[in-house]
Amino acid sequence: MVKVAEQAPVFESVMAYQAGEFKKVSLGDHKGKWVVLFFYPRDFTFVCPTEIREFAELENEFEAANAMVIGASTDSEYSHRAWFEKDLPEVKYPVLADTTQEVSEMYNVLGADGASQRGTFIIDPDGDLRWMNVSDNSVGRSVKEVIRALKALQTGELCPADWAPGSETLGKE
């Protein structure tokens, strides 16, 4: 079972769709960078594109924080291409096609219906899972909160409730 403060489950050579192309993606490809891995239930749905677009709109903020965004669902790379080319052309980050459901199982977000639940995971440059959030599929996540959590983790210090980048921390543990 996936746990915060332990090594994140490592996936290798998972087919993905990225900006018009198919490619294989491995977690190890991003060693030395922060990784924000998010799962969403299905392509061609209603809540999912609102989150996917927000990750795309804020991708520069993730990049400025030395973080790579990777999306994932259990749909195929062909489904991703059809949906992203038609409705989400602004998305440039890779989206895993977890058709075997292995990555969703590794991260404990596989729903009984075979779709991924809405899970978000922040993995540090050493491959440790530092933050996670899994929610009901009917409620979209706040990508701004993911950025806030990422930046709080990157301070290496204790951050109080509602801490924001640029605010004082509580110091080291």
List the chain domain ranges.
14-155
CATH number for region 14-155: 3.40.30.10
126 Cβ neighbours under 8 A, 6+ residues apart: none
Question: What would the pLDDT profile of 22-64 be if each residue is shown by its tens digit?
Answer: 999 999 998 899 999 999 999 999 888 899 999 999 999 999 9
Taking the model in full, what pTM does it have? 0.95
Question: What would the pLDDT profile of 114-161 be if each residue is shown by its tens digit?
Answer: 999 999 999 999 999 999 999 988 889 999 999 999 999 998 888 888
Token pair in block for residue 14: 């998972």
What pLDDT does residue 13 have? 95
Query: Is 48 designated active site?
Result: yes
Identify the active-site residue in 35, 37, 48, 69. Answer: 48
Question: In whole angstroms, what is the distance from residue 81 CA to residue 124 CA?
Answer: 29
Q: Taking Cα atoms as reference points, which of 70, 47, 15 lies closest to residue 118? A: 47
Are 141 and 36 within 8 A, CB to CB? no
User: From residue 39, how far is each of 6, 35, 64, 69, 156 by CA, in Å?
Assistant: 19, 13, 22, 11, 26
